[in-house]
Amino acid sequence: MKLTQLLTGILVVAGTVAGAAKGYVHYQVKSRVDHLVASAGMFADIRYEGLDTDLSGSATLHGLSILPHQFPDHFRIDAITLSGPDLSFLLNGFADARAKGELPERAAIAIRGWHMRTDSALIGMMQRSSQELAKLLGVESDSCSLGQMFGAKDFAALGYAEFLVDMQVGYRFADSFPGIEVDWDFRVGKEHGGFQLAMTDVSRHVRPGQTNMPRFREMRITYHMDAPLTEKTIAYCADRRAVDRETYITQLGAEPDALYQAYLGFVPGPGLRAAFQELLRNPGEVRLTAQPLEPLDLTTLALYQPAQLPELFGLSLSVNGNPIEDLSFGFMDLAGVLGEGIEEDMENDNFWSDLGLFPSAPRTPATPARRQPAAPSPKYRPVGANDLAQHIGHEVRIVGTGGRKRNGLLKSVERGLATVEERRYGGLLTTTIALDEVVAADAFY
């Protein structure tokens, strides 16, 4: 009986202490949140219905409402959760990182139930910005073109007045290698996907003057299409263009290179365009993996040709479970396409207000400054074999007799021999070539 009373007493005390600790943590977190909301008052009216805290290191805001002052929209979010490794993170966030000299071992933020109306100003702004970009690229397009956004009328025709968006992004320092792993997941209706990235040579410890560059270790992307929405969209766009379904899919696959570069960051080759068209015919799953033999220093990518990158990164791609063999792609310089006038356009208030962004106050036009000629951008330029000595320390591309190529860093030119240091999948290889055997040479400067 006495033992039962003792255990009961211990439990009561433990419960009281835990309750008091949770109450203190909840009060501290709520005070910080309320201070943050008040500080943001000059930019937006922010309200929330409730706050939950967990002693394991997470806090959740419920019923969030955001009304920006300078943007005509109203955002509603069911819940936002910020989570970390422990109670210290919950109370101090990243503030301790500077004092302790190390980052939290993990952190994540999750958004659940972001109600995005199809007639929202945000979607309208995205639609206008995509249309403006197409105009700047000199490409004829409509809302059914590659990269273009639907407007409220388009979504209404498809039967959608609102989308519910869930997403989460976070990082964690890895246990099995000295680096970091980043995860991002999203879901919009039946459409969902994920992105995982691993980088090595990333340390939790914050050291001033640290010079180690992170290296790419692995990346995985998955994307599951909303088949009913895709089918409706294709039917809607084919009808708008007065063509059949297959013709519209063919048109998308043949979009100008400039649009692909602008919205994908590269220009896909025949195999990737065919895979894209197949995915539209049979909406399903895309899986992309990049897993090089050794971690890559991304600052050296300029040394490689686009044709070398799929093998260098160890790329693999599948559409609906079927591997894609032709992963060729290229790049297009959009600067020349956009022209010099883009800077002047972006400096005008009308440029931003047309996109739905309204400046807080009209700006006083500044006296136009005299445009100075821009310094030429570094690029590969032809050089003679006898001039290679002027480019020691630069990247070079040399073609010798018989077609053999040497691409890398020019280390020296001595006694009629050029020495080139080439990077080969994580290692370095030093080769030489006689100047009188050089057929053609380019230097990067």
Domains and CATH numbers, the chain: 118-205+213-350 (no CATH), 380-444 (2.30.30.100)
Q: How far apart are CA 435 and CA 413, in angstroms?
A: 9
pLDDT computed for residue 14 by the predictor: 39
83 conformational bin, left if phi > 0, alpha if psi -120 to 50, beta if neither = beta
pLDDT computed for residue 13 by the predictor: 39
pLDDT computed for residue 207 by the predictor: 64
Residue with tokens 């290679």: 388
Q: How far apart are CA 165 and CA 429, in angstroms?
A: 50
Task: Write out the two tokens for 119.
Answer: 């007639």
Q: What is the mean pLDDT of residues 216-229?
A: 93
Q: How far apart are CA 243 and CA 239, in angstroms?
A: 6
Q: How confident is the model at residue 12 (pLDDT cuts 50, 70, 90)?
A: very low
Whether the predicted pLDDT of 67 surpasses 50: yes
281 conformational bin, left if phi > 0, alpha if psi -120 to 50, beta if neither = alpha
pLDDT computed for residue 150 by the predictor: 87
Task: Write out the two tokens for 415.
Answer: 């006694």
pLDDT computed for residue 167 by the predictor: 93
Query: Looking at the whole model, is its pTM more than 0.75?
Result: no
C-alpha distance from residue 280 to each of 159, 226, 228 (Å):
20, 11, 11
Whether the predicted pLDDT of 323 surpasses 90: yes
Backbone angles phi, psi at 414, to 5 degrees: -140, 140
Q: What is the mean pLDDT of residues 361-369?
A: 45
pLDDT computed for residue 73 by the predictor: 78
> If you ran DSSP here, which 8-state letter would residue 205 be given?
B
Q: How far apart are CA 407 and CA 442, in angstroms?
A: 10
pLDDT tens digits, residue range 110-138?
999 988 888 888 888 888 888 888 888 88
Range among 84-93, 199-208, 320-329 with highest mean pLDDT value: 320-329
Q: How confident is the model at residue 4 (pLDDT cuts 50, 70, 90)?
A: very low
pLDDT computed for residue 36 by the predictor: 73
Residue with tokens 């000629």: 373
* b (16+ CB within 10 A) / e for 207-230: eeeeeeebbbbbbebebbbbeebb
Rg (CA), the chain: 28
pLDDT tens digits, residue range 89-103?
666 666 666 667 778
Largest CA distance in the chain: 102
pLDDT computed for residue 181 by the predictor: 94
Range among 26-30, 200-204, 318-322 with highest mean pLDDT value: 318-322
pLDDT computed for residue 15 by the predictor: 40
